[in-house]
Structure 1
């Protein structure tokens, strides 16, 4: 299958029949190269109910689904602490893996996943939906093109006020907290654009970490991190609504992203370029981001590639390194 070939489809299995997997299945219907084929769960009964609801042909336990030879790729939509085990089992079963972010709560576990992916020669992609589509492409092109000068600073926040302080988000044993749940988004943006600017992303300089611990997890947190000449100032929260904007500061201009993160059904579309007292609004096409990330993995499978250019393994490692250190500092405070 090539990018122009829409006739061959990836047969997907969803592992973990929860809310975000339901959103992925909705997105998959808009994909060019994927079809839902199977559902796996720790509970065969839950898997069966989800499969019936969404029209999947097969269901069963994780082991039963991973043993099937009619499954090409899996989407992992379980809690953070189970990602590594399921990803490794899927890779060793010969499946391509799209794993919901974060790939795992610690850099050590992420390295294990990527080592297994390299050994088994199966593609692995961390599911940062904001990395896919015309909006993300336009940002990379602005940074790499140099027309606005050098990128100096990325400022972004992602936070919401959870209605109750309980459940997965506030469970330390399940790696709850703001940093891993939504703080990873502004961090991933900063890493993506620092890399596009040619800055090193594998040796971050930590200038500031701050956090407020709530119910044993990082309820809110902020950080300032330098990737070479690009500084990232990021904030996150699960106890307060934060603006969904981001600002990219260049030597000769700034770019404002009014809705930096989009949604699970639509990518962002608007960039505002401010330069020399003038303002230019740029609109780009919207895509279904979960469909786009699924198709990106399908193309990697077809082309025999282990990595997807929009979210290469070096970026997954860089994000895991900072998330591990940021969260450790937050919970130690």
Structure 2
């Protein structure tokens, strides 16, 4: 593919996403499970947000954070999967530099925000189990609002610097990205200049967001488990562990592929490129797909509220329209 003429010191006007190099013949088959997972993720998370918003009994800190997590999952998967489907189905890999940098921003921004939400949910579980009498006093609406603002601002300022670091690099005509979406190191590696600042800052940003959050989550759950196993009642221990079980599953699903993708980008030079790209796509589809399923199955309040919402929707759809005059013979 020929490259356009532009200054070697500027970012290319467009990039070409090559999909999964080495597996081009299987793109259509690969697209089937990813498309299915995206549809499930989209419907499941939108249903989760609608359920929490429509049910007053779910207007509590834990469910508020869960709705934020679901909204973030919708943005993350919608930022990446539709573009990947265009590549798999139509070979539509051309993406403008502005759209590519926007994709870089939202992918990493959503990852930082989701990490902050999971850390906050762990703190919420810690307060609810270890200090239940002060739960509502500690996690007031004002505190929750401040946590949300800080999480968004932290993610924004951490990630926007990544975009500026990409803009400062010379690319010398290189514009083919062997991936299904634009992410920071994938774009930086196209540069013909020194990308050490990108590598160092990318590592620093990841450790200061996902790294710090994962440590705080581990500390929270260590304190939770210590408190749970000191409870005198076996039923109380089982209930507390069951309450935390779904959150722990979501945490593992998020951090395991996130750290794997992050580390292989920098140190996993022996891992085949198509394996890394497939896992990177699983990272943006599997957690968003499974999060609403896990919480829907494990949380009785959400199951019942979702069932009521579905029944109401079906009832509205099937009920006869009012206001129309009745049909009479000879009319």
* TM-score (normalised: structure 1): 0.27
TM-score normalised by L of structure 2: 0.27
Higher strand share: 1
